[in-house]
Amino acid sequence: MITAAVTIALTLYAVFSNDDVTYLFGFAIILGVVTMILVIFVIFVGGKFLDNLYCSLSGILFGLYLIFDIKMVTSKIKVGGVSYRYSYDDYIIAAI
């Protein structure tokens, strides 16, 4: 239920918001690398706190990816002066 509510809320935000989210690309890359390193650490050390931290970081990363993907489907995203948008053929791949 929580996942559905977060997904719907982020989708509505991405579709109806005019905010520029391109500054979060770098943050998403750093967060992805930190999450991968944390996963390796969790495999060997474990612990309830580290599991909760890993789940929280993964949820934030999912939310960022969802916003980026929906923004690219519904409008253009400019990164470094270059405009990105899915073409008509890319919508199927983007949905997967």
Query: Crossing angle of helices 2-16/48-74, nearest 10°?
Result: 30
At a CB cut-off of 8 Å and minimum separation 6, what does 53 contact? 38
Q: What's the number of CA atoms in the CB half-sphere (13 Å) around residue 93?
A: 7
Q: In terms of pLDDT, which residue wins out, 96 or 55?
A: 55
Band of residue 85 on the pLDDT scale cut at 50, 70, 90 = low
State yes or no: pLDDT of 41 exceeds 70: yes
Which is more confidently placed, 35 or 78?
35
For the segment 50-80, what is each residue's pLDDT rounded down to a tens digit? 888 988 999 999 999 888 888 877 776 666 6
Domain range holding 87?
A: 2-95
The total domain count for the chain is: 1
